[in-house]
Copies of this chain bind each other. A is one copy, B any other.
Amino acid sequence: MERKRFEQAPCSIARSLDIIGDWWSPLIIRECLYGTHRFDGIQRWLGIGRNILTRRLTLLVEQGVLEKRRYQERPARYEYHLTDKGYDAAQMLVAMMPFGESWLFDDAEPIRLFDRRTDRRVRPQLVDADTGEPLDMRQLYAGPGPAFPAVDDIRRERFTEFYARRDGRVSEDP
């Protein structure tokens, strides 16, 4: 069956997964971020099947993450470049780097990021924008925001449940 899409979900994570919720799209975005812009280059670096790459590129262009530029006429040749949206999407990828370095490599990073103009090392970190403190996931809870489905919506039930514990009981697990 067709992959399930989340463009209607009241959740930024779910909707983002419509764009980067597979294993190739993020890597294609990575390639564009790192400087590979052409079909063959991306294909070789990633080892992705050419048919799959075609599909993904088309999708990413449709979603406004990549822009297809003709860099040569006769024969027509193209490059794929990140759009503004694409650069923002790339932030989600960069946010994966600390996790990978902590848990998926033995104590050393495979890639380092640098600043183009200062050449200083850049270390991505997720913080609270207001306090600047690193986020502690155990300390968070979620609540509905302005765009959460209205109370008188069909999803009222889910909405109210939202405040309760979600497994359908009033639990007090840590």
Enumerate chain A interface residues (CB-CB to B < 8 A). Answer: 3-4, 6-7, 10-18, 20-23, 26-27, 30-31, 33-38, 40-41, 45, 47, 79, 81-82, 85, 87-106, 108-117, 120-130, 132, 135, 137-149, 158, 165-168, 173
8 contacts between A and B (CB under 8 A): A13-B97, A15-B104, A92-B99, A94-B140, A109-B146, A112-B143, A115-B140, A117-B139
Copies in the complex: 2
The 8 Å CB contact of A146, one of B108, B141, B168, is B108
Q: Is the CB of A110 within 8 A of B144?
A: yes
Residue on B nearest A85 in the bound complex, by CB:
B103
Dominant secondary structure at the A interface = mixed
Q: Which of A6, A132, A141, A165 has the most CB of B within 10 A?
A: A141
Structural contact, A92 and B95, CB atoms closer than 8 A: yes
B95 touches A88 (CB 8 A): no
6 more A-B residue pairs beyond the given contacts A13-B94, A113-B141, A115-B140, with a C-beta to C-beta distance below 8 A? A20-B96, A41-B167, A45-B158, A89-B103, A114-B141, A123-B129
